[in-house]
Amino acid sequence: MIKQVFVVHGFNGRPEGGWRPWLKIELEKKGFVVHLLKMPSPRLPSMNAWIKEIQKNIQTPNENTFLVGHSLGCIAILRYLESLKGKQKVGGAILVAGLATNLGNPLFSSFFRASIDWKKIQSHCNKFVSINSDNDRFVTIAHGKAFEKNLGARLIIKKGMGHFSGDEGCFKLPVVLEEILKLAKK
């Protein structure tokens, strides 16, 4: 069965920004089908609109479906997983500089109105990797530790990578490629 990867950018992001195009090319070389999702209104994000966009693109999730999020895209992925029904499962999720709280930003409030249902998320995905940087000016390592504690995520801390954004010169992110390949083998 074909392995698919769906990549969700963050706040004010775009599919072709930063390391996402590089990741798509590298994964396609390995036989994956990769979808770089374009989230609606990235400067004024709405949880419901972002979840609908993910649902529209994934359609029928299964164990060969892998999710990669960056920043606000990570909580969008977690809220998507909460929306799944019955025994629907995905193969794994990688959360790069993911938010576990709204960082005090009112633009992110729709994603955090309700508490996160960690158990429901785990019922639809039980393989998580959280990748954080020791010098991210937006998302501290505490967020990665929250994913580690509540989702059993494997926490990877990179040195000096900032927020893993193209604005900071991050155009390749080999750790994400390596982790997807590991998740897809299990």
Catalytic-labelled residue, pool 71, 130, 133, 165: 71
For this structure, is 71 an active site residue? Answer: yes
- pLDDT at site 65: 98
According to DSSP, residue 121 is labeled H
C-alpha 50/C-alpha 37 separation (Å) is 10
Q: Is 2 exposed, middle or buried (0-12, 13-18, 19+ CB in 10 A)?
A: exposed
Catalytic-labelled residue, pool 130, 136, 143, 165: 136
CATH of the domain at 54: 3.40.50.1820
Q: Which two tokens stand for residue 104?
A: 């005090």
Q: What percent of the chain has pLDDT over 90?
A: 99
Task: Check pLDDT > 90 for residue 93.
Answer: yes
For this structure, is 41 an active site residue? Answer: no
Task: Check pLDDT > 60 for residue 107.
Answer: yes
* pLDDT tens string 142-180: 999 999 999 999 999 999 999 999 999 999 999 999 999
- pLDDT at site 1: 84
Identify the CA nearest to 23 among candidates 39, 10, 6: 6
- Provide the number of structural domains found in the chain: 1
Which residues are within 8 A (CB) of 98 and not within 5 positions of it... i.e. 6 or more apart? 69, 70, 71, 73, 74, 75, 78, 130, 139, 143, 144, 147
Contact between 8 and 37 under an 8 Å Cβ cutoff? The reply is yes
For this structure, is 134 an active site residue? Answer: no
Q: pLDDT band for 124, please (50, 70, 90 cuts).
A: very high
- pLDDT at site 186: 53
Question: How much is the mean pLDDT over the chain?
Answer: 97
Q: Is the pTM higher than 0.95? A: yes
- pLDDT at site 39: 98
Q: What percent of the chain has pLDDT over 70?
A: 99
* pLDDT tens string 64-87: 999 999 999 999 999 999 999 999
Task: Check pLDDT > 70 for residue 12.
Answer: yes
Catalytic-labelled residue, pool 70, 124, 143, 163: 163
**Which residue range(s) make up the domain with 20?**
4-185
